[in-house]
A and B are shown apart, each in its own frame.
Chain A
Amino acid sequence: MKYKLGTLAVAGLMAASPVMADLVFPSLSYRTGPYAAGGIPFADGYADYFTMLNARDGGIGGVMAKVIECETGYNTEKGVECYESTKGEGALVYQPLSTGITYQLIPKTTADNIPMHTMGYGRTSAANGKVFSHTFNYPANYWNGASGAINYLLSENGGDLKGKKVALVYHNSAYGKEPIRTLQELSAKHGFEFKEVPVDHPGQEQKSQWLQIRRDKPDYVIMYGWGVMNQVAVQEAANIRFPMENFIGIWWSGSENDVLAAGDKADGYKALTFHGVGDDFPVFDDIQKHVVDAGNAAGAGDQIGTVLYNRGLYAAMLAAEAAKTAQEIHGTADITPAMMRDGMENLEITEEKMAGLGMPNFGPSFSVSCDNHGGPGLIGMTQWDATAKEWKLISEFSETDMSVIQPLIDADSGAYASENNIEAGCK
């Protein structure tokens, strides 16, 4: 009711206001280069959602949304250039879509008072909003992913992983190393043996790593991969006849791109997720009607319902809902980046709200606060069906082990605060 009243108030304000500038949402995309196959559907999903809001609802709170796309090629320097060249356009929130760009933009966005959303990537300890005032990584981060995988394995093994071997095959970069500390802690807590297996970039050749896995015979393999590393790993796992149902990828290793090349051999492979899969949601009817059929799709319209398209769509939905929240808080439809930050910090996503948006159970219900910019870290599990060529959600969005993760977040964000002379606290 409060939400509806707020919306009515904003609409009333709009009616009495002069013509306002667009709400600007920059999209730092990568439609070219080695990672374009992953970047294109995300960028399409992000853009199509705002196009749909403009066509169906007349924008957000009566103000049209404008997506400014800037090509980064998944290159950190280009990403920073994109930020610098678009921030003057009234950018409300940045989605860098790269951990490297995120690290560069954390101090810049803070200084410029522009919020940044790094959904499922970036600096994990940014979940501590008292230190990272302008960075948000809800609804889940890499450490939630690691804990989500272990929780799933616990549920598969009657709550006991003692004596089991779990190997982590990871991209040998800052991103790939993110879950190591969490998994070490969880290994100590649950008594499983933990083994690290790094793969050098780009990961086209992984023979050594999979021979090592063949020799060590882990019960489960968790993968934090990216790009070509994912496809090769799935292929190599199939080659050594590692049981696919015991092979779990993080959400960046769990798109159609990662499994189609291996054909039927990828059947049963699992991946973590923090959002829904498939196109069986009412929102896609609106996308089809107002965007694709109208000839306004960002891409060819052939990516709708794919994992990464859905992720882009979900990111756009969260940005739009944060903008609505900001409009309600500040009583104006013409919000600034600082107001947008407030909207993100007070964002509340409920099942009722998602159902109203045509996305029932598309993601977990959560709320954001100054203390917690990362949300509750609820994680679901998906599984690849090679025959139907689709991902299926096989679990609920479940809680992760915050008793292990929170101390790690506090320690890492505390170290960042002291390195950068940041006085932690809520603004």
Chain B
Amino acid sequence: MPEQLAFTIEVFLNGLMAGVLYALVALGFVLIYKASGIFNYAQGVMALFAAMTLVGIQNGQVPFSHLINAILGTDVHHFGWHVHSAIAIVFTVAVMVLLAVCVQRFVFRHLVGQEPIILFMATIGLAYFLEGVADLMWGSEIKSLNVCATEGACLPQGLNMWIDETTYNAFGYGFFIDNLDIVASIVAIILVVGLVMFAQYTKQGRAMRAVADDHQAALSVGVSLNFIWILVWSLAGFVALVAGIMWGAKSGVQFSLSLIALKALPVLMLGGFTSIPGAIVGGLIIGVGEKLFEFLIGAPFLGGATENWFAYMLALLFLVFRPQGLFGEKIIERV
């Protein structure tokens, strides 16, 4: 295989993998927007909060320890135990559900019927509040995340080396694919299939779709809007946890995790704000598009570092020709 073609294929494959990671973040936005029409600015911070909570529980860290020590003059930081990843994930999901209940009860319950821009502003406030709470609760230091997927224990060790060797023997060029990206892809597939099946085949899922289609009609047939909103925010919290684990495994769990939301925006613009498959396909197109552009044009002719702006430019192009995104619902307002 010609070397340039092999490089291009390798970049394409890695673009697909990066796209899956972008899609994981975008999914949380889609879930909330679809059910409530709220663009959740806090989704990136939710990923940060979830990942910090997971690591905190895993490491037996005492929440708010700095605050407690400052007030009470104590010196407690750890409970002295280590919690298994699976159990820590269950506890973290419980915390995210609790967060969803609080968000619904103390914020959005009071904002029902308000303009979308008001709801959006509320999520901005929520983002900064959550960031502050996460800082107080778990501290600002960078924490390493150690769940089975990130250590390669959920996949045979050295899978990427096997891919490298096998493709080298077959094509004369060994392709590089990161173990973590393979895990992320598998997790994303399971997550999307699970979410779609939940929405299609469960009573709560159908109620969620009904609310997404028409709030008033759903209320008139006895669907509880409060419950659906809590459900949707809980699901978004779960998706945020998954995204937080995958991104946190790369960089460590730190405050920059909240910035991953920036990677989801072009995906949403491209895939549409209301479509779960749109988030996936949008993520893949953005991932592959930005990587190929960087490889073929950006690095050789423009000095590199083109990925950030290219993703937005690509999304903008789609917006011009298809404002609702690839899979979004076309908005028709009758007067």
Q: List A residues at the B interface (Cβ < 8 Å).
A: 31-37, 40, 172, 196-202, 204-205, 207-209, 211-212, 214-215, 227-228, 231-232, 235, 239-240, 257, 260-263, 300
Nearest-Cβ distance from residue A238 to partner chain B, whole angstroms? 10
A228 & B256 in contact (Cβ 8 Å cutoff): yes
Most chain B CB within a 10 A radius of its CB, from A40, A201, A211: A211
Cα separation A34 to B298 with both chains bound (whole Å): 28
In the complex, which residues of chain B have a beta carbon less than 8 angstroms from the beta carbon of A201?
308
Cα separation A215 to B247 with both chains bound (whole Å): 24
B224 CB within 8 Å of chain A: no
B140 & A208 in contact (Cβ 8 Å cutoff): no
Q: Which of B32-40, B203-211, B277-285, B299-307 contacts A (4 or more CB under 8 A)?
A: B299-307
Nearest-Cβ distance from residue A24 to partner chain B, whole angstroms? 25
1/0 per residue, CB under 8 A from A, across B13-56: the answer is 01101100100000000000000000000000000000000000
Closest chain B residue to A228, Cβ basis = B256
In the complex, which residues of chain B have a beta carbon less than 8 angstroms from the beta carbon of A204?
247, 250-251, 256, 259-260, 263
**In-complex Cβ contact of B11 among A208, A232, A240 (8 A):** A208
Cα separation A34 to B141 with both chains bound (whole Å): 10
Cα separation A58 to B141 with both chains bound (whole Å): 33
Most chain B CB within a 10 A radius of its CB, from A32, A263, A300: A300
Q: List B residues at the A interface (Cβ < 8 Å).
A: 7, 10-11, 14-15, 17-18, 21, 66, 69, 77, 135, 140-145, 160, 176, 178-180, 247, 250-252, 254-256, 258-260, 263, 290-291, 294-295, 298-299, 303-305, 307-308
Closest chain A residue to B306, Cβ basis = A200
In the complex, which residues of chain A have a beta carbon less than 8 angstroms from the beta carbon of B256?
34, 202, 204, 227-228
In the complex, which residues of chain A have a beta carbon less than 8 angstroms from the beta carbon of B140?
31-32, 36-37, 40
B142 & A257 in contact (Cβ 8 Å cutoff): yes
Cα separation A196 to B69 with both chains bound (whole Å): 47
In the complex, which residues of chain B have a beta carbon less than 8 angstroms from the beta carbon of A227?
256
In the complex, which residues of chain A have a beta carbon less than 8 angstroms from the beta carbon of B7?
211, 215
In the complex, which residues of chain B have a beta carbon less than 8 angstroms from the beta carbon of A34?
254-256, 258-259
B304 & A197 in contact (Cβ 8 Å cutoff): yes
**In-complex Cβ contact of A214 among B144, B176, B294, B295 (8 A):** B176
A37 & B255 in contact (Cβ 8 Å cutoff): yes
In the complex, which residues of chain B have a beta carbon less than 8 angstroms from the beta carbon of A33?
255
Cα separation A303 to B165 with both chains bound (whole Å): 43
B295 & A261 in contact (Cβ 8 Å cutoff): no
Q: Beyond the given A36-B255, A205-B18, could you list 14 further A-B residue pairs with CB under 8 A, ordered by the A residue number?
A: A32-B140, A34-B256, A37-B254, A200-B307, A201-B308, A202-B259, A204-B256, A205-B263, A208-B290, A208-B307, A211-B14, A228-B251, A239-B178, A263-B144
